[in-house]
Amino acid sequence: MSHSISVRELKKILDTDKPANTILIDVRTAPEHKATHIKGAVNIPLNELEARKAELEKYDTIFLHCRSGGRSRSACNVLSDIKSNIVNVEGGILEWQSEGFAVEKGKSFYLPLIQQVHILAGALVSLGAILALTINPQWVILSLFIGLGLVFAGITGWCGMAKMLELMPWNK
């Protein structure tokens, strides 16, 4: 069984009446977690959650959070068949920080994957346009390819550029 709570409710639970046998799981990627996280949160990325279900079944309550709430909702679905009380933290760490609650920060800077995609796509579209105007008009194909890739990503939710960027060493 799963339900949702606000970050304010989670803060109250963590500060005052945290029930025994609970765990707070951050389902973001390891680099995101390293950059900033809620004290005491255990990092189990969403894509690893299915494989780690067995170790979570020992908890009575599992609190799940991510960046803004989307991945943690998906995580609730992944864990829906275990007997623990599954709790989604609405708004994620962004809401947690906007409320002024403390976070622990790592020494490294992390740029979210979606921003990396925006930067790379924008740079490639611009490069294609510049090369088409100055070198050879056929370079417009680069801009067209990137633009169509973004349309495909928007329609399907799958982005090849994001998958490629996930493999880069700075995202490990």
pLDDT digits (tens, 9 = 90+) for 10-40: 999 988 866 788 999 999 988 889 889 999 9
* Average pLDDT score over residue span 46-59: 93
Residue matched to tokens 């996280």: 37
Predicted pLDDT at 16: 82
Euclidean distance between CA atoms 130 and 100, whole angstroms: 44
* Average pLDDT score over residue span 50-70: 93
Share the mean pLDDT of the chain.
Answer: 92
Q: How sure is the predictor about 146, in pLDDT bands with cuts at 50, 70 and 90? A: very high
The CB-based long-range contact list for 77-81 (8 Å cut-off, 24+ gap) reads 78/46, 78/49, 78/50, 78/53, 79/2, 79/49, 79/53, 80/2
DSSP 66: -
- Report pLDDT digits (tens) over 63-111: 999 999 999 999 999 999 998 899 999 999 999 999 999 999 987 677 8
- Strands 104-105 vs 61-65: parallel, antiparallel or unpaired: unpaired
Predicted pLDDT at 84: 86
Say what percent of the chain tops pLDDT 70: 98
Euclidean distance between CA atoms 31 and 109, whole angstroms: 9
Our answer to whether residue 159 is catalytic in this structure is: no
Instruction: Single out the catalytic residue among 7, 35, 46, 66.
Output: 66
Predicted pLDDT at 4: 93
* Average pLDDT score over residue span 152-167: 93
Euclidean distance between CA atoms 14 and 120, whole angstroms: 39
